[in-house]
Structure 1
Amino acid sequence: MPEKNVRWERRGSVAWVTLDRPEAGNAMSLELLADLGDAIRHVEADSAVRAVVLTGAGRFFCVGGALDTMHGAEEIGHRIRAMTFHLHAVISSLARMPAPTIAAVNGPAAGAGLSLAIACDFVVAAETARFSSSYAAAGLSSDGGQSWTLPRRVGLNRAREMLLLDRRLTAAEALEWGLVNAVAPAEGLERTATDMAAKLAAGPTAAFGRIKGLLADGETAGLEAQLDREARAMADSVATQDAREGIAAFLEKRAPNFRGS
């Protein structure tokens, strides 16, 4: 049986998904992307998962697509289309799943690696992390939702700098720009991600999923349409066990014990 390029494990209620091709900088081969899709589907199907951490093995988070595995214009075109199909399915799943997602960026994140990181709800970075789009430098347009997620994180002007001028950011610059949520020493990255994931995993997962959906729709919806979406989401939320627990805990002045439903 071929060795997997992605491994995942559940630590309590937190799923850890690791890109495991360190000798190649965790570059996205077609095989790695297929394995990543399998891992994400397993995570989605596990009802015990209430937060997800995505990281890379070795010194890199992900250097982007494995273009060195392709030869000839016809093969490059075919493989890029296949890789994009798998990548976009993963990006869509990360956006759709109710469980909050965290990218723990342990090293350089470039090209599709950047797309994968910023598709997560939160990004925590090691001080050694670097961020670049890199698509235009290879004569390519962006994929993995980067043209959608990047402007939402850093604004349109700064997104242009990264996409058109190939502006590369250190971890400190990424924090200043709003691309990442936190920066930690390399040896403290796992602890930082673990602490954030534990807090999220103890929260109201179903409500988190509704909030994620509202945020995704919010920038393109008009106010009246968004108010209608919020009203429907609130009506659904009020009927949940977590809402009953949260309201009771508030009235009783105690910490809530959410079950994720």
Structure 2
Amino acid sequence: MSVHPVSSLSTTVLALRRAGCVFAEDEARLLHEAAASPDELSALVERRAAGLPLEHVLGWAEFHGRRIAVDSGVFVPRRRTEFLVAQAAALAPRRAVVVDLCCGSGALGVALATALDRVDLHACDVEPAAVRCARRNVGDLGEVYEGDLFAPLPVRLRGRVDVLLANIPYVPTADVELLPAEARVHEPRVALDGGGDGLDVMRRVAAEAPAWLAPGGSLLVEASERQRDVAVEILRAAGLTPRVRVSEELYATVVVGTARPVT
């Protein structure tokens, strides 16, 4: 879609509406704030109208009250996942050891680290682009590693992790093609596709989690409402004590698995 140079907010709103943007007014204001010149604004509007996620156009996403850098090709953190961060913050002890698996942009780890007093933060992702982005966001708050799930983590963390955030992919393979184009086309499939029933990655995480969790430490994962019962059984079979937390406001379901405390 061709977008002519845009100078007025109303013209930008009209261009975004024509492109099918549901929140055209809000997006137009953000694009105007981001653009340093009419030519740059026109380029931003054209990218958004072509279907790029707004966060990739802007270069950031708002998450848990912070602007998180999000590069092209990196999974965009969802607002519903703020509920997972809130649950993690409620469970975390002082000076918690935190691991953010499948960290993407690093949004979850950064949000939890800034919400708590002292955190020993470690994040990892298999996607090189995500790792580069997460390192920018995490900065001196912690360490970011590249690799598959637990593989790149330092061995010294085994048995010491108080909070294990796992923002794993949980969309069933057959449903990936039903996702909005913004996700399906512009986000890495490895961050979306959870296998046949959407829980393949969760099974892998749950199987290894007990070896990494400290006594009383917890694994927190998102799932859909229809997956919750199977997710609970996966955690129970791994030797963790499961429970479910739900936010109707954010349409979020978080399944928590806690390791047995020292008796």
TM-score range, shorter chain: under 0.3
**Greater share of strand:** 2
Q: TM-score, normalised by structure 2?
A: 0.26
Structure ranking higher in helix proportion: 1
